[in-house]
């Protein structure tokens, strides 16, 4: 198998694990629980994508399963948590915007031809 085929296959084998959560933070205990959950995600190699979305690259589906299991073992008793896994290829198709909405390209203006 040549290198480009291997790379293409690896994009479908390697995974990104995303953890989305909405945890209660009204009481001091709830805030500590939420902070502990975020800290545990960081300790397991996750990085903050947004405040309540953390992500982690895994070289294989088997490795992703290990981190998903760890996340499930540290779930808080209250709140909502979603764990999603996508391939590296799918992750690479994500479009990101900072501060501006995506807008469609402007249609080209009509040009006048002078003879």
**For residue 85, what pLDDT is reported?**
96
Is residue 110 a part of any domain in this protein? no
Q: Name the strands in the sheet holding 53-58, side by side, starting at the edge strand that comes first in the sequence.
A: 47-50, 53-58, 15-22, 80-87
| Cα dihedral sign, 24-52-84-15 | negative
CATH number of the CATH domain containing 48: 3.30.70.240
Count structural domains, the chain.
1
Is residue 108 a part of any domain in this protein? no
pTM of the model: 0.77
Is residue 97 a part of any domain in this protein? no
- 37 with 76: CB under 8 angstroms? yes
pLDDT tens digits along 16-30: 999 999 999 999 999
What backbone phi and psi angles, to 5 degrees, belong to 87? -75, 160
DSSP β-bridge partners for residue 7: none
Q: Cα–Cα distances in Å, from 6 out to 10, 54, 71, 98?
A: 6, 28, 30, 33
- 85 with 20: CB under 8 angstroms? no
pLDDT above 90 (res 110): no
Q: Which range, of 8-17, 25-34, 46-55, averages the lowest pLDDT?
A: 8-17
Is residue 102 a part of any domain in this protein? no
Q: How far, in Å, CA of 67 to CA of 61, rounded?
A: 10
Q: What is the mean pLDDT of residues 107-112?
A: 44
Domain containing 23 equals 3-90
Q: Could you tell me whether strands 47-50 and 15-22 are parallel, antiparallel, or unpaired per DSSP bridges?
A: unpaired
Is residue 36 a part of any domain in this protein? yes
């Amino acid at each position: 198998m040549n290198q480009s085929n291997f790379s293409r296959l690896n994009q479908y084998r390697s995974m990104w694990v995303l953890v989305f959560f909405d945890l209660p933070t009204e009481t001091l205990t709830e805030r500590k629980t939420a902070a502990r959950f975020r800290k545990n995600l960081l300790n397991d190699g996750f990085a903050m994508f947004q405040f309540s979305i953390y992500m982690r690259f895994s070289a294989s589906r088997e490795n992703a399963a290990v981190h998903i299991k760890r996340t499930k073992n540290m779930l808080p008793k209250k709140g909502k948590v979603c764990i999603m896994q996508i391939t590296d290829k799918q992750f690479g198709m994500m479009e990101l915007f900072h501060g501006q909405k995506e807008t469609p390209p402007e249609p080209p203006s009509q040009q006048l031809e002078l003879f």
